Amino acid sequence: MTGTWRRLTDRLSGKQDPEVLFEELPDHLEIPVRQWVMQATRNYQLVGLVCLRLRLPSTVLNNDSPEMALVNYRDKNNPMIFIEIVDAVLAARGSQALQRR
């Protein structure tokens, strides 16, 4: 048995190539990633840092639920904004972890 899981249809057809990476957030990952961002940004300071770094409008932080506003933020001029939010959250959490050491 190999250590890498592959789809049954790929195994049956003998396909050995790894799955292709996606340029944008694929539909099947949208909900789990948004849920992770929601959990990861329960800290108001972290949401503020992400908003500051990405220059998001103050409506995100002024919302009754800033983490929900961040998770649902859309920018018609920047279709990659949610990927940028994920990237900023990862960077902010990484720097917080380093500061705790």
pLDDT, tens only, 23-62? 788 899 999 999 999 999 998 999 999 999 999 999 999 9
The answer to whether residue 86 scores a pLDDT higher than 70 is yes
The answer to whether residue 90 scores a pLDDT higher than 70 is yes
User: Which pTM was predicted?
Assistant: 0.75
Mean pLDDT of 66-94: 94
- Phi, psi (deg, nearest 5) at residue 35: -65, -40
For the stretch 8-23, pLDDT in tens is 888 888 887 767 777 7
- Kindly provide the residue ranges of all beta strands, DSSP E only, lying in 1-101, ordered along the sequence: none
- Phi, psi (deg, nearest 5) at residue 88: -65, -35
List the domain boundaries for the chain. Answer: 42-101
- Phi, psi (deg, nearest 5) at residue 79: -65, -15
- Phi, psi (deg, nearest 5) at residue 96: -65, -40
In this prediction, residue 76 carries a pLDDT of 93
- Phi, psi (deg, nearest 5) at residue 64: -60, -30
In this prediction, residue 89 carries a pLDDT of 96
**Which of 78, 74, 85 shows the shortest CA–CA distance to 49?**
85
**Which of 68, 39, 41 shows the shortest CA–CA distance to 53?**
41
